[in-house]
Amino acid sequence: MTQQANQGDSAPPDIKTVIDAESPFPPIRRVGVLRPFAWLWLGWQDFRASGGASIFYGVCFAAMGLVLNLVLKNAPEYLSALTCGFLLVGPLLALGLYDISRRIEAERSGLLRSVFSMRGRWSNIGVLALVLAVILMVWARASLVVFALFYNKGMPTMHGFLAQLFSLNNLEFLAVYACIGFVFASIVFAISWVSIPLMLDRDTDAITSMIISCVALFNNVAAALVWAGLIVGFVVLSFMTWNLGFLLAMPIVGHATWHAYREVVGEAGETLEC
């Protein structure tokens, strides 16, 4: 039976706790549609408090984007597939940022410790990493098939490809590419938006974490859509600034994801009111 938890005086007014009393899973809170903006603010606070540790991860994200652009500048069909694929595994790559926020919350810090935050959790996080890797490979193949079937202007240069995107001369290709990309991105978002911080924080197994992540999504569809839209917006802005935006965007989003997890997934021992 679904019941409400005693929120206490300190609970934000737009957060409610919902739980099935017989479920082995932790409580899943329902948050207000505008809570993602609060997560971003908390992420910004963690970014400021972390010093150079967060910047290190931002540099890594920006460097990976620049390397992809340089290596595949004459093969936009591969560049687009791997760039989107890079975003699909982004939640896993931000693991160190989650750990930094966790340590700030516990009044501990340290870049080196965050880099090795997977220690002792390889088996659980490794399963999710394998799932994301499979999704990445399937997406890469699907992306190339869409190029072969729907891109009717010949194999373009990167300049020609971007010009085509902004001129909307190939609407069929854009529509199909966007729809297929949306399907893959939705799957990854559903299984990972709180699962990786959950595994890091509580050493929960991968399957349980992914199920909890999906349940949390279904209980917070409106807030999750806003959060996903904000992430996409940050990513697009980062690409439009020649990947330099990743220096700030990805650390802040990574820290904010930790706070999203902390608000959405409750503690197993929370008291309930009938």
Q: For the ranges 18-32, 44-58, 75-89, which has the lowest average pLDDT?
A: 18-32
Give the per-residue pLDDT at 105.
82
104-116 tens-digit pLDDT: 887 665 554 544 4
What is the pLDDT averaged over residues 206-212?
Answer: 92
Q: Which of 7-21, 157-171, 189-203, 253-267 has the lowest mean pLDDT?
A: 7-21
pLDDT at residue 22 in the model: 47
CA distance 101 to 99: 5
φ/ψ (deg, to 5) at 210: -70, -35
Determine, yes or no, domain membership for 7.
no
Question: Distance between CA atoms of 88 and 174, rounded to whole angstroms?
Answer: 19
Express each pLDDT in 160-198 by its tens digit: 555 666 566 677 888 888 899 899 999 999 999 999 999
Sheet containing 15-20: give its strands across: 28-31, 15-20, 2-5, 272-273
Domain that holds residue 49: 27-265
Residue 119 lies inside a defined structural domain of this protein: yes
Number of domains forming the structure of the chain:
1
Let me know if residue 236 belongs to a domain: yes
Q: Is residue 17 part of a domain?
A: no
Residue 14 in domain:
no
Segment 123-144 shows an average pLDDT of 87
Across residues 75-87, what is the average pLDDT?
77
Question: Which position has the higher pLDDT, 271 or 36?
Answer: 36
Q: Which of 248, 238, 215 is nearest to 87 (CA)?
A: 238
Domain contains 2: no
Distances (CA, A) of 57 to 10, 50, 155, 196: 32, 11, 34, 17
Residue 13 lies in a domain: no
* pLDDT winner (highest mean) among 54-63, 84-93, 217-226, 264-273: 217-226
Helix axes 35-49, 246-264, angle to 10 degrees: 120
Q: Distance (Å, rounded) from C-alpha 227 to C-alpha 214?
A: 15
Residues above pLDDT 90, as percent of the chain: 34
Q: What is the DSSP string of 206-223?
A: HHHHHHHHHHHHHHTHHH
Token reading at 70:
């340089």
Assess if residue 100 is contained within a domain: yes
Helix ranges restricted to H, 89-170:
90-93, 95-105, 111-115, 122-150, 158-167
Q: What mean pLDDT do residues 119-129 have?
A: 73
Of the CA atoms within 13 Å of residue 68, those in its CB half-sphere come to: 21
DSSP per residue, 29-89: EEE-TTHHHHHHHHHHHHHHHTTHHHHHHHHHHHHHHHHHHHHTTT-HHHHHHHHHHHHHT
